[in-house]
Amino acid sequence: MSTEKSLKEEIPVPEAIVRVLEEAGIDMVFGMPGGKAMQIFDALYDHRSTIRTILVRQESLAGVMAEVYGRLTGKPGVALGQGAFMLSNALLGTLEAHLGCSPMLLMADLSDNSPFSHHAPYQSGTGEQGTWNAQRSFEGVTKRTMVLHEAVQAVQDTQFGIKHAVTGKRGPVALLYHSTALRGRVGPRSVPSIYPTRYYLPECPPSAVTEHVVAVAKILSQAKQPVIIAGNGIRISKAYKELLNIAQLMVVPVATTASGKGVFPENHEMALGVFGTFGLPVANAIIAEADVVLVVGSRLSSTDTANENPKLLDPGRQTLIQIDIEPENASWTFPCEYALIGDAAVVLSQLIEALRSEGLPSQQTVSFRKARLNAARREQGFFDAPEFSSDEVPMLPQRIIAEIRNALSEDAFVACDAGENRLFMTHFFQTNQPGSFISPAAIGGMGYAIPAAMAAKLIFPEKQCLAVCGDGGFAMTMNGLMTACDEGIPIVTVILNNQSLGWVKHAQGERLIASELKDRNYAEIARAMGCRGIRVQNPENLSRELKHAFSAGEPTVLDVVTSDRITYKHVLSQLAVSPESR
C-alpha cells in the first residue's frame, strides 16, 4: 500500500498549519491576534466554514475554553496567540489541562523578528541574549513543548503535537513558531515529505492484559460489598456508558472523585455522589465498609482520600483494583492487588465481558446491596438537606442550588468556578445525565466557570449551559461576557454573591485580611456589557428569574445575594480533620 503526500501544490506554512487542524477534526480556535501569530489567524480566514475562530478579551479565557473543548470533545482544544501572553495569561487553562489530562494545543509565536533574533527584538522568546526563553518556560507546564524553526518542521510538528496531546495520558502541548518557519512555504517537493494528518492520529485505544482482566472479574464476582470510585479519566475516555453498564450489571454503588463529579448520574439508584474530603457522608460510609474497591481513572489524591485516612481506604483490609491509562498512576497512592493499564472505556468493556462469563450476582446479593445502600442513604442523607427549602434571606447556598436544579432541563450542562461555591456545588448539587458537570478540580483556579460554560455552549448549542461562580471568581473573568455577547453565546451565569472570598474568609477566623469584598451590583455591570442582568434577593424571585434566563436566548447574569453563614466547614468530612478518626 502506498501513502499519498498531503500537498498537491506549494502553499504558505500558516495555510498548511490550519489544514492540519482541519484534518484533525478541530473545528474551533480560541485566541487573541497579535505578533507573528496573526499569520495563522490570517490563514484561518479562508477556513471559516470549517473552523470557528473565537476572539476572547484576554488569553486566560482562551486557555480555559481550549481546555474545556479538549476535555469534552477528546480533540485538542486550541489556544492561539503571542508567546509572551499565552504564557503569562493562559496558564489557568494550561495547568488545568496539564494536571487534569485534557488534550490541548498552545499555538504561539516567538515574536523573534528574524533575522534580528540575536539582537533582542521586542517581546522575543528565543532564549538568546536579551530575550526570554519561551521553550524553557512552557516546558514546566506542558506535556511537551516544541520550537519550530523550519517550514516543514512547523507543519509536521503541528501534526506531532496533536498526536502527543491525545496519546496515552493526554495533556497540553506547546507549539512555538519561529518567524522563519511562518514565512516559509511547503509543497509536494518539500523535504521531509508531508503526509496527511490522519496517519498521526491514534486509532485503537489501548486495552488491558486479558489474564489480569479475568482475575479482576473473579475478585469482583466474589466480593460481598464492592464499590466503584470513578474519576476524571471516565470523562477523558468518554466511558460513561461502560461505567453505567458495569454498575447496573453487578449492582455496585458508584462514588466519584471531585474532579470526576458528573461522570455518573447522581440520580441513579446506585449513585453515592462525591467521596473524600468534601464528599457526601453516605459515599464515605459505603466506601469505608467495602471489601473490594475498583478505582477507574483517578490517581486518588490526598483531597480525594481525606488525607489518606485508613478508615476510608486501606489496602490492609480492602482489595484495591485500579484502571488507568497511565502506568505511573497505578499503585501510586495505595498498593493495588491488580492494575489494569489501558483506556477506561476499553478496559471496562473487557471487564464487563469477563464478568458475564464469571456469573452475575444472585438475587439475594442484589437485594442485599440495594438494601444496604438505601439504608445508608436514609441514615446519612442523600441530596436532601433541610436547607434546600429554607426561606432565609440572604439566601443560603443550599436553597440557591436547589432552585438551580429545579430550573435546569434534564440534559443541561453546568460549569463551576473555584472556591467555596464549588465545594457547595460539589456537595449539594445532584447531577443528572453523565458528562453534564465540569469544574476546575485539577488546579482549582478562580475565573473558570464563565469561559468553561461558553466553551460548553459552543460544543452543545442545543443545551442549557450554566456558569456558577462566586463574586470573586466572577470579577476575574466577567470580561468573557463581552465575548458571549459578541459571539452570540447565550450562557446563564449565577453569582453566589456573599461579598467575600468565602473559603479564605472562613479559614481566617477573626483575623480577616484581604478576603472581604465591597457590595457591588454585578447585574448592572452585566447590563453595561450588553447582557441581561438581574439582581436577586429572595428564593421566589430566583425561581422565576432562572426560568426567564434560560428562555431569554441571550447571555444573562443573575447576581444572587447570598448568606455567608454556611461555610466550607459544613461540607468538610470529619475523616479529614479529626486525629481520632485515624
Per cent of the chain over pLDDT 90 is 95
Are the beta carbons of 298 and 277 closer than 8 angstroms?
A: no
Mean pLDDT of 468-496: 98
Are the beta carbons of 3 and 199 closer than 8 angstroms?
A: yes
Q: Clarify whether residues 368 and 273 are in a common domain.
A: yes
Q: Clarify whether residues 427 and 469 are in a common domain.
A: yes
Q: Clarify whether residues 534 and 400 are in a common domain.
A: yes
Q: Clarify whether residues 42 and 133 are in a common domain.
A: yes
* Residue 579 pLDDT exceeds 70: no
**577: in domain:** no
The lowest-confidence range among 376-390, 462-476, 565-579 is: 565-579
Helices 344-358 and 210-222: angle between axes, nearest 10 degrees: 60
Mean pLDDT of 171-181: 97
Q: Clarify whether residues 364 and 413 are in a common domain.
A: no
**582: in domain:** no
pLDDT confidence of residue 518: 95
Place 17 in a pLDDT band, splitting at 50, 70 and 90.
very high
pLDDT confidence of residue 63: 98
Angle, vertex CA 280, rays to CA 515 and CA 237, nearest 5 = 95
pLDDT confidence of residue 2: 59
Mean pLDDT of 169-198: 97
Q: Clarify whether residues 165 and 268 are in a common domain.
A: no
Residue 186's DSSP bridge partners are 11
- What's the domain count of the chain? 3
pLDDT confidence of residue 359: 86
Query: Which domain-ending residue is among 380, 415, 440?
Result: 380
Place 580 in a pLDDT band, splitting at 50, 70 and 90.
low
Q: Clarify whether residues 290 and 418 are in a common domain.
A: no
**416: in domain:** yes
Place 506 in a pLDDT band, splitting at 50, 70 and 90.
very high
* Residue 192 pLDDT exceeds 80: yes
Residue 82's DSSP bridge partners are 109
3-class secondary-structure state, position 165: helix
Domain that holds residue 346: 210-380
**2: in domain:** no
Q: Which spans in 359-429 are helix H? A: 363-380, 397-407, 420-428
Mean pLDDT of 252-261: 98
**1: in domain:** no
- Positive or negative, the CA dihedral 214, 216, 222, 226 is negative
Max Cα-Cα span within the chain: 78
3-class secondary-structure state, position 432: coil
Place 577 in a pLDDT band, splitting at 50, 70 and 90.
confident
d(CA 568, CA 259): 17
For residue 569, give the DSSP letter.
G
**372: in domain:** yes
Place 274 in a pLDDT band, splitting at 50, 70 and 90.
very high
Q: Clarify whether residues 221 and 327 are in a common domain.
A: yes
Place 5 in a pLDDT band, splitting at 50, 70 and 90.
confident
* Residue 582 pLDDT exceeds 90: no
Query: What phi, psi does 264 have (nearest 5°)?
Result: -130, 130
The string of pLDDT tens digits covering residues 102-159 is 999 999 999 998 899 889 889 999 999 999 999 999 999 999 999 999 999 999 999 9
Q: Clarify whether residues 169 and 214 are in a common domain.
A: no
Cα torsion through 560, 561, 565, 571, rounded to 10: 10
Per cent of the chain over pLDDT 70 is 99
**107: in domain:** yes
Number of other residues whose CB lies within 10 A of the CB of residue 458 = 22
d(CA 544, CA 101): 39
3-class secondary-structure state, position 202: coil
Query: Which domain-ending residue is among 200, 232, 259?
Result: 200
Instruction: Kindly write down the DSSP assignment for every residue of 177-201, as one continuous string.
Output: E-HHHHT-EE-TT-SS----GGGGS
Mean pLDDT of 391-414: 97
Retrieve residue 542's grid coordinates: 430566583
Q: Clarify whether residues 128 and 165 are in a common domain.
A: yes
- Positive or negative, the CA dihedral 82, 555, 398, 272 is negative
Number of other residues whose CB lies within 10 A of the CB of residue 180 = 18
Q: Clarify whether residues 375 and 447 are in a common domain.
A: no
Q: How far is CA 304 from CA 57, 301, 315, 339, 575, in A?
A: 35, 5, 16, 19, 11
Are the beta carbons of 160 and 139 closer than 8 angstroms?
A: no
Q: Clarify whether residues 518 and 451 are in a common domain.
A: yes
**127: in domain:** yes
Q: What is the CATH number of the domain that holds 327?
A: 3.40.50.1220
Residues in CB range of 463: below 8 A, 6 or more apart: 409, 411, 412, 413, 456, 457
Average pLDDT in the chain: 96
Query: Which domain-ending residue is among 200, 233, 257?
Result: 200
d(CA 354, CA 215): 9
Q: What is the CATH number of the domain that holds 20?
A: 3.40.50.970
